[in-house]
Chains A and B, each alone.
Chain A
């Protein structure tokens, strides 16, 4: 078996005095689809944000494809890498946010091409071609010249997915991407993610869509108080929870 794509070793994170992550270990193999569930405040989103370095973490290591990201050891001391390297490490992952966070002053097409032009330094024609390809796959090519303010929530989120995946990341991170959507728009976004799953994309999803997590995940992890309390294949985790915390959580979730 090849080396795992993502390795998280003993990651700790504090906000002030508060331990948000207190020793997280996780291994994600290529083409794994890992759903992270847990109540709010359990550290799910923070964990995702540590993986793409939007948050600092204070202990432990995160490795993508064997390379430690964000920090290095210098004379035995842990040091945050220079900003340019951090930016390169961030590009290894694609992030989709709960609130879409599209660039409001750019059309759907330019939202996707910006990173291709400025980060991957592609030529304009090539960037446009890649962007149109992904906008087509997420089903919003006919909206390519619209601005985010002119798109529905579901369309905006699909553009956001195209924007992230067009950068050709090794790993996609989805942070509660359907939580801000009207119920009737949820499925159009989930279907796009399902397509990515069947293409073999490796991904981590923080989600409250339990049915979806059950259906698409290769592994589900349950976070509680900054730790991974349980993990396993969805059928095992949902049907046979080991802890009372997880049993309660599942009972109180809607499927």
Chain B
């Protein structure tokens, strides 16, 4: 093999790769933030006595979790416009990733809610809080703290999934790495740098989230 490593081209475009990394992070943060609300609502719906709500939540989670995310991305971007819902590529991707994270977070939150002691809810009701006040002040805050490790894992996994946005030309890290590859034929260099950037980013995100977990842990 007569291939000389030359990272110069990659370094020249490093700011593009960095901006791609930043966009990927932003996409993950926004999606998991909105997805958390969807997940919370769906988790309570799944545990509700109302059959209709439970049915809707189960359908949502089942449908999303059994579809490959790339298919969901293509569906939202290519098929939805046929139904009149035309979104820009970034909006379309955020929409998909939000629905996707919401489905996974539903399961995380549902497990967290089931694991709460029944006495917590009863103690809240006993001091005169309403059902909603008990959820808002007690059940959700305690549950979120308990599932933080699972949330962290989900977040990192979602962040890595943002690389799939390259498939619809969202200018994130993978998109730029491929662009550099195609323009310069620096195959090894561009993908090595992109991989390392993902590795470092995930490592630091994980470290940061562990700090947060420790800070929020219930003594």
Contact = CB atoms under 8 A, between A and B. Distances in A.
B128 A114 contact: no
Interface string A199-230: 00000000000000000000000000000000
Contacts of B120: 101, 103-104
A149 B138 CA distance: 16
A87 B137 CA distance: 15
Interface stretch (A7-15, A18-26, A35-43, A88-96): A88-96
A119 interface: yes
B52 to A, nearest CB: 19
Given A105-B218, A147-B218, A83 B141 contact: no
A83 to B, nearest CB: 6
Contacts of A105: 141-142, 145, 218
A101 B128 contact: no
A104 B120 CA distance: 9
Contacts of B119: 97, 99-101
A163 to B, nearest CB: 7
Contact of B128 (A119, A147, A160): A119
Interface in A97-112: 97, 99-105
Contact of B117 (A52, A101, A120): A101
Contact of B125 (A54, A94, A99, A160): A54
B122 interface: yes
Contacts of A52: 126
B219 A149 contact: yes
Given A97-B122, A101-B122, A150 B127 contact: no
A104 B138 CA distance: 9
Interface string B118-132: 011011111111110
Nearest to A119: B128
A160 B142 CA distance: 18
B218 A114 contact: no
The size bracket of the interface on A is 20 to 34
Given A101-B123, A105-B142, A118 B129 contact: yes
Contacts of A167: 127-128
B81 interface: no
B190 to A, nearest CB: 47
B129 A119 contact: yes
Nearest to B133: A118
A230 B138 CA distance: 40
Contact of B142 (A84, A97, A104, A163): A104
Interface string B123-158: 111111111010001100110010000000000000
Contact of A90 (B125, B138, B219): B125
B126 A95 contact: yes
A26 B218 CA distance: 42
Interface string A100-144: 111111000000001100111000000000000000000000000
A97 B127 CA distance: 12
Contact of A84 (B130, B138, B218): B130
A164 interface: yes
A114 B137 contact: yes
Contact of A54 (B122, B145, B218): B122
A135 to B, nearest CB: 15
Interface of B: 117, 119-120, 122-131, 133, 137-138, 141-142, 145, 218-219
Q: Which 8 A-B pairs have the closest CB atoms?
A: A91-B128, A101-B119, A115-B127, A101-B123, A95-B126, A119-B128, A147-B219, A87-B130
Given A90-B125, A119-B128, A119-B129, 15 more contacts: A52-B126, A54-B122, A90-B126, A90-B127, A91-B127, A91-B128, A94-B127, A102-B123, A105-B142, A118-B129, A118-B133, A119-B133, A120-B128, A163-B127, A167-B128
18 contacts: A84-B130, A87-B128, A87-B133, A91-B127, A94-B126, A95-B123, A97-B119, A99-B117, A102-B123, A103-B120, A104-B218, A105-B142, A114-B137, A115-B129, A118-B133, A119-B129, A149-B218, A164-B127
